[in-house]
Structure 1
Amino acid sequence: MADIRVKFVSQKISKVRFRPAQGIYSQGSDVFASGNWDDESGRVCLWQIPLAQRDNGDMEGGDTATDREPTQLCETSHRGDVTDMEFLGTEAVAVSSSLGTVTVYRHRGLKSLEEASHWSGIHSGLGHVSCACTCVATQGEDLLVSAGEDGRINVLNISHRTPIRTIKKANSCTINGVRFLKQLEVITVDSSGQLKIFDLRQNSEEPSKTFTVSGEQTPLQSIARHPTQQHVVATGGHDGVLSIWDLRQEKFPVTLLEAHSAPMWEVKFHPTNPEHLFTCSEDGSVWHWDSSAVTSLVTGTGAGSGGGSLFAQPPGGAQQPQITSPWLGLESGRSKMEISTLLPNQSLPINTLDIDGETLICGSDEEAIYTIDIPGIR
């Protein structure tokens, strides 16, 4: 049973992001950032979740959870609504704005947030009027890209005051999400229901690949890349549908799964256990998708696998298992996938979520941050 805590914060939360864990032996991150929207002033905050502690009293049984309500460490003002945020390493966070700007904030020992880099006027519409920068993605500690309502992609480096490259005609409609696939390759989702891959090394404004949702042009609102298999991508649609894509060969989604009853604002693979995926929606719900039971059907292992029908036959006749992803075998294993709701019915939208270790955080228009412990998925 998931343990749910709620922190009321007097601001509508638009984004939450865990700071990357420090060190290879880390048990996960306990620090995250949040941003707000629809307020008189924008804010970016850093929070810490107290770690569970061992009960040293007379009770038997070992560990008991203490009060793990997030504690605010520091905050800073931000121009406009926070539309997206991603950490640059462990010491800085990049934040996009409804005013068409991108700002990088650095923290000093988690005690303060200070502006380190700022790019204004990099997203604009007709008449050079600023429009929203809708999304941002980061790579390492100094490289990031932004995209916006103007269909433009900017490549930014924290040591340069202006974009080091701009793809002005990346899209004719709003880009709603962007992620790095490789060091210099990004993928976007847009309001026309397309995925586009751009190779930043090429001197071209045309995408290297384009993928499309079949049927009506339903906007795609969110995107997540599988943490270890870069050809596997999940997207969330304005219609609440979860789509799974294989970027190696398919022009259309491998699987379409009816999910939420309203726009799916974010989708996230678990960073170290990607058989688990999480989604949140305008309808106020947060779902946990568990594909681990599909694994045996995909790899041809375990009972009912069909005697190795999914095994490749290399030269020499030696049989080797075909390495693939359970997310690409959902058609055959649909009945095996477990889907559970993590929050009681909410009347207001859940705008954002992130997952690290056994802890999921999400933010809502209820002016609250939810912290949910999910045992067994570290």
Structure 2
Amino acid sequence: MDDIGVKFVSHKISKIRWRPAVSQSLRRSDVFATGSWDDEDNRVSVWQIPQDGGDAEIMDTTAGAAEAVVESEPCLLAEIRHVGDVTDLEYISLENILASSSTGTVTLYRHHRNSQTLAVMHQWEQLHRYGDQTCACTCTAARDEMVVTGGEDGKINILNIGQRHPSRTIAKADSCTINGITFLKQSEIITVNSVGQLKIFDLRLDTGDPVNTFLVTGEQTPLHCVDKHPGQPHIVATGNRDGMLCIWDLRQDKFPVTLLEGHSSTMWDLKFHPRNPDHLFTCSEDGTVYHWDGSAMSSDPILNPIAGTGVGSGGGMSVAANFSLGGATSHSSPWLQMEVARQRLEIKTLLPHVSLPVNTLDIEEQTLLCGTDGESIYTIHVPSVR
């Protein structure tokens, strides 16, 4: 069992996100943000995991430093009241945090690190509504200065950080709740919805219609979360109400290339490891957190001939060479090989004793963060991710 630390807080955690690492630095972030829900006084909070002998803002990326994360309890740096449940949370820079609300509003917060305070920089109010009634903004995604939002009303809003009002609204993007949204490319986004559809939108087009629509099954099982492979954006992972992990190849199929049974209830969040995407992490309503490890398949010369061609004795590409470009894999991804080699996929349970829902997670280097309805933040050291 991997090392686990726990911090008990006074509210249920709906979202948890690592702050980005300092650019061009060999060190990684030890700061993260959380959002709460189901409280009269919800909060956006910023935390730091201290390390003895380290810089106050950053931490070494050594195995010892990663283990020290578990032994060090997160310390609250700053927090601010948030109106409504925090439905999504994202760092868009080292100081700026974007949070969406069940009230339909999106707020941009700034973390002033000198004074350790959070302040509202801008709010886009009531972006999502049914007629005269506001409804939840369920998800956000950001790329450079552009922000996209999805909501219960099936609308997509395009925001610009420097503008007070949406630059565009796709009013009929969907006929049901949009549960997840992320950028696929510079001008393309991908959404998942409550009838089990995955849609691609090209923001350069004026029609507002999806350029492609994918479907899990004919049973309209809701999809609740989505993440794209960091090195191969045509590979996308989603989680559904039944706890199933779905892997899609957007180049060729209208249906998932792989369906993997895992959790016994709704999968609320999932993340590819940003630098080693052969590893994927998921969490669920049933209180479980899984580590899906496909790294054994990447080094299999039969399943992955590219990875099996070694340097030294006969030329060709080494296994190590496949993990260049900042960790993006150039070999055939193990996630597209699952149907022929499921037995090579290793699935580890990281939180076996949690009974209340685990709503959110995020991974940075070897440290996994989890937020729960048990009013707790878990830090888990995952040494198998290298």
Scaled by the length of structure 1, the TM-score of the pair is 0.90
* Alignment match, 1:266: 269
What's the offset of the Cα at 1:347?
A: 1.3
Specify which of 234, 246, 262 is matched with residue 243 of structure 1.
246
Specify which of 166, 171, 189 is matched with residue 169 of structure 2.
166
Q: Which moved further from structure 2: 8-17 or 22-31?
A: 22-31
Secondary structure of the residue that 2:341 maps to in structure 1?
helix
Specify which of 104, 107, 111 is matched with residue 107 of structure 1.
111
1:272 alignment partner AA: R
Secondary structure of the residue that 1:25 maps to in structure 2?
coil
2:264 alignment partner AA: S
Q: Distance in 1 between matches of 2:2 and 2:381?
A: 5
Secondary structure of the residue that 1:135 maps to in structure 2?
strand
| 2:128 corresponds to 1:123 | yes
| 2:101 corresponds to 1:97 | yes
What's the offset of the Cα at 1:3?
A: 1.0
Secondary structure of the residue that 1:239 maps to in structure 2?
coil
What's the offset of the Cα at 1:143?
A: 1.5
Give percent identity, aligned residues only: 57
1:22 alignment partner AA: V
1:123 alignment partner AA: H
* Alignment match, 1:149: 152
Secondary structure of the residue that 1:46 maps to in structure 2?
strand
Paired residues of 1:29 and 1:357 also in contact (CA < 8 A): no
Q: Distance in 1 between matches of 2:111 and 2:80?
A: 10
| 2:214 corresponds to 1:211 | yes
| 2:319 corresponds to 1:298 | no
Q: Distance in 1 between matches of 2:369 and 2:68?
A: 17
* Runs of 4+ displaced beyond 6 Å: none
1:257 alignment partner AA: L
Specify which of 180, 183, 190 is matched with residue 183 of structure 2.
180
Secondary structure of the residue that 1:335 maps to in structure 2?
helix
Q: Distance in 2 between matches of 1:77 and 1:289?
A: 36
* Alignment match, 2:35: 35
Paired residues of 1:53 and 1:65 also in contact (CA < 8 A): no
Paired residues of 1:222 and 1:236 also in contact (CA < 8 A): yes
Q: Which moved further from structure 2: 83-92 or 166-175?
A: 83-92
Specify which of 357, 366, 370 is matched with residue 349 of structure 1.
357
What's the offset of the Cα at 1:332?
A: 1.3
Q: Distance in 1 between matches of 2:52 and 2:177?
A: 42
* Alignment match, 2:320: none
Q: Distance in 2 between matches of 1:53 and 1:331?
A: 47
1:42 alignment partner AA: N
1:18 alignment partner AA: W
1:137 alignment partner AA: A
* Alignment match, 2:226: 223
Secondary structure of the residue that 2:28 maps to in structure 1?
coil
Q: Distance in 2 between matches of 1:348 and 1:24?
A: 39
* Alignment match, 1:13: 13
Question: 1:325-340 maps to which residues of 2 (within 5 A)?
Answer: 325-340=333-348
Q: Distance in 2 between matches of 1:45 and 1:279?
A: 23
Q: Distance in 2 between matches of 1:152 and 1:49?
A: 38
Give ranges in structure 1 of 5+ residues lacking alignment.
55-61, 304-321
RMSD: 1.8
What's the offset of the Cα at 1:52?
A: 6.4
Secondary structure of the residue that 1:65 maps to in structure 2?
helix
Secondary structure of the residue that 2:277 maps to in structure 1?
coil
Aligned length: 352
What's the offset of the Cα at 1:245?
A: 0.2
What's the offset of the Cα at 1:323?
A: 4.0
* Alignment match, 2:26: 26
What's the offset of the Cα at 1:200?
A: 0.6
What's the offset of the Cα at 1:339?
A: 0.4
Paired residues of 1:298 and 1:325 also in contact (CA < 8 A): no
